[in-house]
Amino acid sequence: MNATPHEPDAHSSAVARAESARTRAEELQQRGGELTDGGAATAATVERARERAERALERAADAHNAAASRHSDAGAAHRRAAAAHEQAAVFASDDVADVHQDAAARHRDAAEQHDSAAVEQSRLQREDERRTTRNPSALGFHQQ
């Protein structure tokens, strides 16, 4: 698989996610056994849960950042395509020029949609970042 300029090698990323999922499954299995045996939450289990929640929020923020970047790139690509169609319309016959102008308008609309999506992803990223260790109570873990 080829990586895009904004994405690490997809295979290594998939391997890392799979390893993380295996580790998490093992932790859940162990914790399930502890709870079945009547084990209560300890400071250590609460801390592990808080760390997992924080890592999940960091991954979500990273994903929102990557999505925002890709939407920005897509918006720019649509604007370039619109400009190319407008340039082609200048040199085309009247009947073909209209087709190019329509295509340019569709590309500009698509660019606006991608720009809006990029703004939304950036907002979601900031929201996730506010929930990390700078605000532990947002993770649902309260220190006693």
The structural domains of the chain, with segments of one domain joined by +, span 41-135
Position 131 pLDDT exceeds 90: no
Band (8; pLDDT cuts 50, 70, 90): low
For the segment 61-107, what is each residue's pLDDT rounded down to a tens digit? 888 999 999 999 999 999 999 999 999 999 999 999 999 999 999 99
**DSSP secondary structure of 56-81:** HHHHHHHHHHHHHHHHHHHHHHHHHH
Whether 54 and 132 have beta carbons less than 8 Å apart is answered as yes
Distance CA 45, CA 35 (A): 11
Burial label for 88, CB within 10 Å (0-12, 13-18, 19+), is middle
Distance CA 123, CA 67 (A): 11
Distance CA 125, CA 130 (A): 9
Q: Is 19 or 80 the better-scoring residue by pLDDT?
A: 80
Q: Is 136 or 49 the better-scoring residue by pLDDT?
A: 49
